[in-house]
Amino acid sequence: MEVVNTMLLSIALFIQLILAPLIYLVTNSSKKIGDTLSMIVSAIPFIIVAYFLNTIYNGLIVYEEHPWIPVFGLKLGFLLDPASYPFALLISLMGFLATVYSTKYMEHEHGYSAYMALLLIFNAGMLGVVLATNLFLLYIFWELMLIPSYFLIAYWGTGRPRIIGFKYFVFTHAGALAMLFGIIWLYVLYGTLEISQLSMLLTDRIENLYISVLIFIGAAVKMAVFPFHTWLPDAHAEAPTPISVLLSGVMIKTGAYLIIRILLGLFSWLMPLMNIPIIILALISMIWGGVMALVQTDVKRVLAYSSISQVGYILFGLVTLAPIGVAGGVFHVLNHGFAKGLLFMCSGVLIYVLNERDLNKLGGLASRMPVTATAMLLGALSIAGTPPLGGFASEWMIFSGGIDAGLTIYTAIAIANTAITAGYYLRMIRAVFFLQPKHDLSKVHDAPLIMIAPMSILIFLVVILGFLNYPITAIITKAATHIIKM
């Protein structure tokens, strides 16, 4: 495969890390200038990733390498290929949109300048995970996205933010330690942590199964797969809304990337031994998350439990071990990320305008908030798998992969669970927008333009990915086919 060498990947990654302290200082002096600089800096990674769309589509990969720790054979390497591209695109775009949204939503919060700096570091950490070419560097970025996200939850969250932030930190760090043990074990056995070298050195030995389990635990905790899910409802519901957008729409997908890059990419011959137990966990996650979402009365908690259910679909697709199923799982990473980000932004509008998120205290808002109502309906229908929206396309691919792999009964259960998804979302939309109003509607208005702008981009993506998705699906399918043949 032809390689494109460039310095742009390190610019996309490090510009947010390097300029975060500057943005903190500038925002302290002038919010307007600080906001403008924050939006520009957060847009640069997306512009760079989008620039390489045609490159990746044409079968090339983008690679960058620098000397780092030669005594351990480690290089500072970054890779953009068909497997990492969808994740980099999601992270960079959603990071930019969350930054734009934050400039209005968080403007009156305490420590605003620190919030914006931490947000940029959080974005950089997530992007670093999917670009890293060795497992040690991947682990560093894995922890880098954990630390700022903890502070963003603990210091700007609602409810009991310190306790919720601590619970989030303990759970996700425990998963990271499981992953770290697996990484160290790999280094002891094979003497390298470069992913490309490991793919040639791995041999059929029993220790690889134990390492795979450790890596899976790290990924499952980050994805909030049942029974590693208990940190997610509180963290996603009580985090500031722009951070909920990133936690639910983006961060949990780094666990899916870990499964693709390591479990499917390096340990593909072991996956037939593990896929049925993992599929059962995926189905339990689908059903448990859906049932719990049905009984919630808080808009953000409905969305949080929905994320548990939807990662079940992503995981199910990835471990069908059928190319179309794996491609569907990756495509659902994008569709769920955009739709769930949109839904959390809609919940943020309710909080910003009405200071309310209880379904029992909302109602009749459709006529006064038409953009938010339309956005929430489209996001919900996409995740519920309604044609012709993006979520339908990815779920169709996932279920086709299940059938192709001979997992007919498991696939039937997954298909049946989509009714639960439609149920809790339609219940939520009915309660918020169409029941008897609980507020004086004369004082209700839609979101400010600076909040509607990122929502409008996501509305476009939720709709367009249902039928004009070829460049992205071609890249994803190419990656899935390559992974399955390994």
Kindly state the helix (H) or strand (E) to which residue 117 belongs, with its residue range.
helix 112-131
What are the angstrom distances between the C-alpha of 117 and each of 107, 120, 148, 252, 425?
14, 5, 9, 21, 34
Q: Tell me, what amino acid is at 388?
A: P
Q: H-helix or E-strand containing 79?
A: strand 74-80
337 and 250 Cβ atoms separated by less than 8 Å:
yes
Give the pLDDT band (50/70/90) at residue 276.
very high
Contacts of 261 (CB under 8 A, 6+ apart): 83, 84, 195
User: pLDDT class for 181, splitting at 50, 70, 90?
Assistant: very high
Least confident of 30-44, 196-210, 379-393, 434-448: 434-448
Q: What is the pLDDT of residue 336?
A: 94
Q: Which of 484, 467, 150 is nearest to 326 (CA)?
A: 484
For the cut 60, the answer to whether the pLDDT of residue 1 exceeds it is: no
Lowest-confidence pick of 94-103, 226-235, 421-430:
226-235
Please state the rounded mean pLDDT for residues 404-433: 93
Average pLDDT over residues 261-265: 90
How does residue 236 score in pLDDT terms, banded at 50, 70 and 90? confident
* The pair of three-digit structure tokens given for residue 269, joined into one six-digit string: 């011959």
Q: Is the pLDDT of residue 408 over 80?
A: yes
The model's confidence at residue 485, banded by pLDDT at 50, 70 and 90, is low
Q: Which two tokens stand for residue 187?
A: 């280094």
| Residues ≥6 apart with Cβ < 8 Å to 286 | 309, 312, 313, 316, 413, 414, 417
Average pLDDT of the segment spanning 115-127: 94
**Could you tell me the two tokens for 214?**
């450790």
Measured distance CA(334)–CA(91) in Å, rounded = 10
pLDDT score recorded for residue 6: 76
β-pair partners for 76: 66
- Count the neighbouring beta carbons within 10 Å of the beta carbon of residue 473: 19
**Rounded Cα–Cα distance for residues 54 and 299 (Å):** 39
The span from the CA of 276 to the CA of 287, in Å, is 17
pLDDT score for 300 = 92
The pLDDT assigned to 2 comes to: 62
| Cα dist from 316 to 223, 328, 395, 403, 431, whole Å | 12, 10, 10, 12, 31
CB 252 within 8 A of CB 146: no
More confident residue, 23 or 268: 23
Residue 295 tokens read as: 């009984």
pTM: 0.94
- Tell which residue, 296, 287, 254, has the closest CA to residue 123: 254
Mean pLDDT of all residues in 156-176: 89
Checking if the pLDDT of 278 tops 80, the result is yes
Strands 74-80 and 61-69, sheet pairing: antiparallel
Give start and end residues of each alpha helix (H) in 69-111.
Answer: 85-105
Q: Do 421 and 385 meet the contact criterion of CB atoms below 8 Å apart?
A: yes
Contact 233, 304 (CB under 8 A): yes
Tokens encoding 438: 């609980």
pLDDT digits (tens, 9 = 90+) for 3-14: 676 789 999 999
**What's the mean per-residue pLDDT of the chain?**
90
- Residue of 5 and 238 predicted with greater confidence: 238
Across residues 101-109, what is the average pLDDT?
A: 89
* Cβ atoms 123, 91 nearer than 8 A: yes
What is the per-residue pLDDT for 453? 93
pLDDT at 289 over 60: yes
The number of beta carbons lying within 10 Å of the beta carbon of residue 196 is: 13
- Cα distance between residue 433 and residue 456, in whole Å: 19
Residue with the bigger pLDDT between 157 and 325: it is 325
- For the CA atoms of 52, 54, 57, 63, what is the dihedral angle to 10 degrees? -30
pLDDT grade, residue 396 (50/70/90)? very high
